[in-house]
Every structure is written in C-alpha cells, then in structure tokens.
Structure 1
Amino acid sequence: MQQLKDVMNRDVFVVGPDSSLMEAARLMRDENFGMLPVGENDRMIGTLTDRDIAVRAVAENKSCDTPVREVMSESVVWCFEDDTVEDGARKMSDCQIRRLPVVNRDKRLVGIVSLGDFAVEAEHIETSAEALAGISQP
C-alpha cells in the first residue's frame, strides 16, 4: 500500500499567528496553496485556509492587517507520513477537510496532502472519490 509520503507535497510554508491576513493570502496566491499551517514556537497551532479568509475575515469585514490567529482554525488534524493513502483519505472524509498536514514520527511537519494529490494517481481514483463523498456530506 502506498504511503502519504509517496503522494504528499513537500513544499510546505508555515505562517505565523501574528502575520497579517494579507501576508498569508499573498503567500497562498504566490505558491498556489489553499491551506497554510500556522506555527508558533516550533509547533503547529492551527491552520489557515482560503475559506477561513473568505468566511471568517472578508465576510466579517475584517481588515487585511488582521492577524492570522483571529481567523485560523485552531483544531489541527494531521496524519503521519507513513500512514497509508487510504488512512489519509479516511481522515479527510471523517473530518470533512480537503487538505491534511503530514508529520514524521517526531511530529515535525514534512508535507501536506490534498484530495487532489490522491486524484492524480490512477490507482487512487476510488480512494479520492470516497473521500470526496465523505467531505461533501452535510
């Protein structure tokens, strides 16, 4: 069985909780990310998604200078790099998320896997479809 480390994106950027939403949004735009881990003191303390920015910031009329910590999601869901693709897809489905930070056994961030990462591999089309169905449940 293929592991998450085989399909994850290793180009990971971490944003600080005191960074502005503008800085985070620009990083997302420039690097084509839909989610950024939020880190402080060498620990992941949350995640920031493009949806967080739209729903928790723009819709609430927050300034582009608003710190990331005011709109980030504080609950961090993650998987280990040696977990299987099926384990990662199941976690995405169960938690209804499309992107998942991946850590090594020392709990150091080593990558991010997205639903799209599963979909590009022909052998993971069914896994991807099942995860999408779970994510899309109301």
Structure 2
Amino acid sequence: MLRRVALLVGLLILGAHICSFQFVDIDKNLQYVMITAEYAVFQFNEDQEDEFAYKFLRVRKSQRQMFSWIYLIDMELGRTVCKKRDEDIDNCPLQEGAGEKKVRCSFHVDAQPWITQFTLLNSTCVQT
C-alpha cells in the first residue's frame, strides 16, 4: 500500500512538472501580449548592428507557458527608413527596394508587465 501511495505521489509531482512547461495558445491581441511584443522589438533593435530600426508588423502566434508569465511570440518585423534612436518608429514607413528587409522572429520572454519587468530568454530570427 505504501508503495502505491509513493508511486501516486511521484506521478502527480512528475505530471505537474511536465504540465508546467507546456505552452498554450493565447489571444495575440491581449494587452500583455502586445506590451511583451513591444519589448521584444525594442530588444531586437538594440541587439542589431543595423542603423535602421525595425518595427512590428504582425503577431503570427502567441503562447504562454502554463502557470507562469513566460511568453512565446512569433512575429514579423520590417525595416524602416528611421534610425534606431528616432522617436516614433511605429509611424515610420518601411524601406522599399534594395533596403527592404523583413524578418520573422520567435521571442521567448519572461514578462511581468504589471511592474514593467521583462527578460528576453531567447530569440530566433530569419529573413523572409
């Protein structure tokens, strides 16, 4: 009997541990998703050697890790005519012709937007 109880407790702990790492789809228009996406784009621009800023085009998919505030956001960015330090990048037109570049990125962000604290855990980008 004691072995069965120990096995059951072990399985419950293992199951909770496995479930806690699963990501579930969430509405990409949620305020927390948009704030987290804005941070991810800012961080992308900071990390790029390119003098031109990229701006958010669209969120393709958004997920949140169960029982946490870790987001996985898949989005598209476009290269603008504005420099990285310009003020209103969201209203900058995209570059056309030879300077046109678009990237698709997946950002893994630990977010606590209610206290404006974000940590970029990982990002992967490919040019489209």
TM-score, scaled to structure 2: 0.23
- Structure number with the bigger relative contact order (C-alpha 8 A, sep ≥ 6) is 1
TM-score, scaled to structure 1: 0.22
Which protein has the bigger helix share? 1
Q: Could you say which structure has the larger radius of gyration? A: 2
